């Protein structure tokens, strides 16, 4: 196999495949999109059966070894930049990182350096890997935690389908002012853009359906809470907007700050400990995009959130009612 290709995806034909055309098995059994299949069949080494080049109309026999390979790509528009990376999992198909707060995932207009993409592209080049940076999802700049990056189009496609189908479990740890309505519950409210500020989101009747599940992990005497969050949908700023809508804004979130809290003694004390929204993507559970193996990856709390926990545990009661 040429070094121009990623590691092959292998499928051994079984009795269900016998007599079926390769293109139908690729679509129905392996979930290969039409667009990707076109790329594969046009590639010299893209599709093989038992080591020989195969064609879409080939009818499979039980035991046939189907392999497909994607040509390697690079992110030519992303400048490689040395960066310390916290890698939670990596194989030839995907990379999962624990992103620190204060860094965006992908370059944007006017922000071409110091992104997670810059660091990953440099890391791959140092290893001699030729991969295009394909994040399956993103986190806000000031949210820490787990991010999945696919190494080739098939892995990205398969993980994106899981995302759309709600088959990827995402859990977050959030630290908020106040107490939610119950120790365990959900916020089911549509989220949309605010016309006057298109970057900001709010609960709106004309918004997209949005669902957030929460459970109180700790109720601190000072009037703050730690919540474990699970997402039913994946809207922009969903956790920040939903928690704020029930009177529990994220600690340290200047963009969605609640006036009822921001001038309290509690806010003054906590702002001295943490300078970003207190939100961490702690767990991702999904099926491996190639092997189908169930995966559950976790990222422990970063130092600033551990310090916040210590401060919340130490603060006296009823600071939320004291203004500065």
Which residues are part of the catalytic machinery? 140
**175 to each of 18, 130, 165, 224, 272, how far by Cα in Å?**
55, 39, 28, 7, 15
Please, are residues 253 and 200 in contact by the beta-carbon 8 Å criterion?
no
**Helices 34-42 and 153-164, axial angle in degrees (round to 10):** 170
Q: What's phi and psi for 234, nearest 5 deg?
A: -130, 60
φ/ψ region of 2 (left if φ > 0, alpha if ψ in -120 to 50, else beta) reads beta
Q: Which residues of 280-316 are buried (b: 16+ CB within 10 A; e: fewer)?
A: bbbbbebebbbeeeeeeeebeebebbeebbebbeebe
| Angstrom distance (rounded) from CA 288 to CA 248 | 35
| Angstrom distance (rounded) from CA 20 to CA 57 | 9
Please, are residues 286 and 152 in contact by the beta-carbon 8 Å criterion?
no
| Angstrom distance (rounded) from CA 217 to CA 229 | 10
| Angstrom distance (rounded) from CA 13 to CA 246 | 53
Q: List, in sequence order, the alpha helices (H) in the chain.
A: 22-28, 34-42, 116-127, 153-164, 238-245, 259-262, 265-271, 303-314
């Amino acid at each position: 196999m040429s070094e121009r290709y990623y590691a092959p995806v292998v499928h051994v034909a079984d009795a269900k495949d016998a007599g079926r055309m390769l293109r139908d098995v690729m679509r129905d059994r392996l979930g290969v999109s039409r667009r990707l299949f076109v790329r594969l069949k046009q590639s010299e080494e893209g599709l093989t059966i038992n080591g020989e080049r195969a064609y879409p109309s080939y009818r499979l026999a039980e035991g046939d070894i189907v392999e497909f390979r994607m040509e390697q790509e690079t992110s030519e528009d992303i400048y490689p930049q040395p960066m310390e990376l916290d890698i939670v999992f990596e194989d030839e198909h995907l990379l999962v990182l624990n992103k620190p707060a204060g860094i965006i995932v992908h370059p944007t207009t006017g922000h071409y350096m110091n992104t997670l993409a810059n660091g990953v592209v440099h890391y791959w080049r140092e290893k001699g890997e030729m991969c295009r940076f394909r994040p399956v999802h993103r986190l806000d700049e000031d949210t820490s935690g787990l991010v999945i990056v696919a190494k080739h189009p098939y892995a990205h496609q398969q993980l994106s389908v899981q995302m759309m189908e709600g088959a990827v479990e995402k859990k977050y740890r959030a630290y908020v002012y106040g107490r939610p309505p119950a120790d365990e519950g959900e916020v089911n409210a549509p989220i949309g853009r605010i016309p006057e500020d298109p970057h900001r989101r709010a609960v709106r009747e004309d918004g997209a359906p949005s669902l957030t599940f929460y459970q109180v992990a700790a109720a601190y005497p000072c009037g703050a809470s730690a919540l474990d969050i699970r997402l039913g949908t994946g809207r922009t700023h969903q956790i920040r907007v939903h928690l704020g809508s029930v009177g529990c804004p994220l600690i340290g979130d200047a963009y969605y700050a609640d006036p009822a809290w921001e001038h309290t003694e509690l806010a003054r004390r906590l702002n001295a400990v943490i300078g970003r929204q207190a939100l961490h993507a702690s767990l991702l559970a999904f099926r491996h995009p190639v092997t189908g193996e169930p995966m559950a990856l976790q990222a422990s709390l970063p130092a600033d959130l551990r310090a916040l926990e210590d401060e919340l545990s130490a603060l006296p009661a009823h600071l939320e009612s004291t203004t500065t």
